Amino acid sequence: MILQGKTILVVNISGKRSTGWAIARSLAKQGAKIAYTYQNERFGSEVRQLFEPLDAIDVGECDVASDDDIDKLFKRLGDGVSIINGLIHTPAFAKQEDLSGNFVNTSRDGFKLALDISCFSLIALCKRALPFMEAHGGAVIALTYIGGEKAVKNYNVMGVAKSALESSIRYLAADLGSKNIRVNAISAGPMRTLAARGLKDFMVMYELIKEKAPLKRNIDPREVGDTASFLCSDMASGITGEIIHVDSGYHMIGI
């Protein structure tokens, strides 16, 4: 087990169909102790049930759009642990009306909201996690999508948020590298998650990528989880500032 003895915080798990849960399962399988959060009690009951078989730390609700909530999260975390070896960032959100139609019609409030939750929250979390990681190093991982690199129909403002997130990965990697903290992102192919339901014509995109990708299939959430486990492990000790694509190779073709 490549993560034996490590404690890793996974932020914003929303249920059994979330990428965060797939990552947490893989981390635990590799020996990590998981600390986890959920946005609010709407998700909390299901998430706690998922973690019942694991020796995990429930650090409760956290609205990543609130600095006060993030401060309280790390205070609760500090009551149980003094160090963490990894931080997994999964939050992403945009208004439904900003995920269809023309990007030019994005509202100012919608733009701010998408960038705040999907990008700035990573910076805010890293700042609070630093005292738990700086003495011994560790790994930070965020989730992104090819819509941050290319214009993807109906991804709209979320694509801009993911572009900002990917740029933030590089700046955070430069900032935190001297403390032996590695910062990377996983650009995953489309998966049938709760978040994907918010994208118009998602199944059209899902089937297209299965047809066009070099591996001729879509990915399984387990593959994202296993990539996260690798990036959190000492086996990835020389990797930082990278966007790792787990999308059956779709990102490299010209279609």
Residues annotated as part of the active site:
145, 155
What count of other Cβ atoms lies within 10 Å of the Cβ of residue 52?
A: 7
CA separation for the pair 50, 210 (Å, rounded) = 29
Where are the alpha helices (H) located in the chain, listed in sequence order?
Answer: 19-29, 41-51, 67-80, 108-115, 121-133, 156-176, 202-212, 221-232
> Could you give the C-alpha distances from 246 to 138, 156, 183, 215, 226, in angstroms and in order?
22, 21, 17, 11, 10
Q: Which two tokens stand for residue 65?
A: 């759009």
- For strands 57-61 and 86-89, give the pairing: unpaired
Q: What is the DSSP letter of 199?
A: S
Amino acid at 12: N
Give, rounded to a whole angstrom, the gap between the first and last alpha carbons of the chain: 39
CA separation for the pair 51, 44 (Å, rounded) = 11
Spatial contact of 173 and 162, defined as CB atoms under 8 Å apart: no
Q: What residues pair up with 184 in beta bridges, in sequence order? A: 141
